[in-house]
Amino acid sequence: MHDLKDVPVEVRPDRTLRVKIIDACGLACSFCHNEGTPVATDNTNRTAGQFTGTPGRSGRVSIYLSTNSAAFLPARISADEDFALALAAIRGSLTTTEVHFTGGEPTLHPDLPGLIKIARRLGLTVGLTSNGENGAAVLPAAAAAGLDRINLSVFGTTPDELAAVQAPRLASPKLAARKLAALDATIDTATAHGVKVSANIVIPSRDHVERVLRIIERHGRAVVVRMLVSLEDGGASLDAMQEVVDHLGAVPVRRIITAGASDQRVRYRLPDGRTLYTKSIRPTRLPETCDGCRFNNPDDCQEGYYGVRMYRAVDGPFMVGVCIQRMDLCLSLGAFVMSQRCREVAAFRDDEASRLTRLYAARTTAG
pLDDT digit string, tens, across residues 337-351: 999 999 999 999 999
Tell me the pLDDT tens digit for each residue of 239-248.
898 999 999 9
Long-range Cβ pairs for the range 57-60 (8 Å, 24+): 58/28, 58/167, 59/28, 59/166, 59/167, 59/168, 59/169, 59/170, 60/25, 60/28, 60/29, 60/32, 60/34, 60/167
Tell me the pLDDT tens digit for each residue of 293-318.
999 998 899 899 999 999 999 999 99
CB-based contacts of 272: which residues, under 8 Å, 6+ apart?
Answer: none
| Residue 2, pLDDT score | 55
Domain architecture of the chain: domains with CATH:
9-362 (3.20.20.70)
| Residue 305, pLDDT score | 96
| Residue 233, pLDDT score | 65
Range 278-297 average pLDDT: 94
Range 55-80 average pLDDT: 94
| Residue 237, pLDDT score | 85
Higher pLDDT, 202 or 181: 181
- Shortest CA distance to 147 belongs to which of 192, 179, 115? 115
CB 227 within 8 A of CB 212: yes
What whole-number percentage of the chain has pLDDT above 90?
A: 73
Range 70-79 average pLDDT: 97
Confidence of residue 221 (pLDDT cuts 50, 70, 90): confident
Tell me the pLDDT tens digit for each residue of 161-181.
888 888 887 788 899 899 999
Range 317-321 average pLDDT: 98
| Residue 114, pLDDT score | 98
| Residue 365, pLDDT score | 57
Sign, CA dihedral 356-358-364-367, equals positive
What are the DSSP calls for 137-148, one per residue? HHHHHHHHHT--
Mean pLDDT of the chain: 92
Tell me the pLDDT tens digit for each residue of 185-199.
999 999 999 999 999
Is the pLDDT assigned to residue 55 strictly greater than 90?
Answer: no
| Residue 253, pLDDT score | 96
Confidence of residue 268 (pLDDT cuts 50, 70, 90): very high
